[in-house]
Amino acid sequence: MPHLKTVYAKFQNDPNVAFLLVSIDDDSKRLERYLDEMKFPFTVLRASSAEMQRAMGFNDLPSTFYVDRKGIVRYQILGFEAHGDSDA
């Protein structure tokens, strides 16, 4: 998911854009190692896969959602896609 850093760099100064990563990794030590390695410059939360599937209605990993200020999903990427190439 290094591409998220690229997208973040593009929008980090835009007050209308915020980033939030939600991990469904069950292994907290593995997640900690990954986050230490990646050093994401934005908030990372953890949830169970069942919680996320219930809340967002998806089964594909990774899944990316572009949500507006009203909480409406405006665009989604299910699976892998070059985020920098997206028009979202």
Nearest to 24 by CA among 48, 59, 58: 48
Q: What is the mean pLDDT of residues 6-20?
A: 89
pLDDT tens digits for range 64-82: 778 888 888 888 887 776 5
Does 19 reside within a domain? yes
Q: For residues 56 and 63, is the Cβ–Cβ distance under 8 A? A: yes
| Amino acid identity, position 81 | E
Does 65 reside within a domain? yes
Does 59 reside within a domain? yes
- Residue in this structure with the two tokens 């939600």, named with its chain if needed: 22
Provide the domain limits for residue 53: 3-83
pLDDT tens digits for range 31-42: 899 889 988 888
Distance (Å) of CA 32 to CA 16, 40, 64? 29, 12, 21
Collect all residues with Cβ–Cβ distance below 8 Å to 64 and sequence separation of at least 6: 76, 77, 81, 83
- pLDDT over threshold 90, residue 13: yes
The tally of domains found in the chain comes to 1
Does 88 reside within a domain? no
- pTM assigned to the model: 0.62
Does 46 reside within a domain? yes
Domain at 28, CATH number: 3.40.30.10
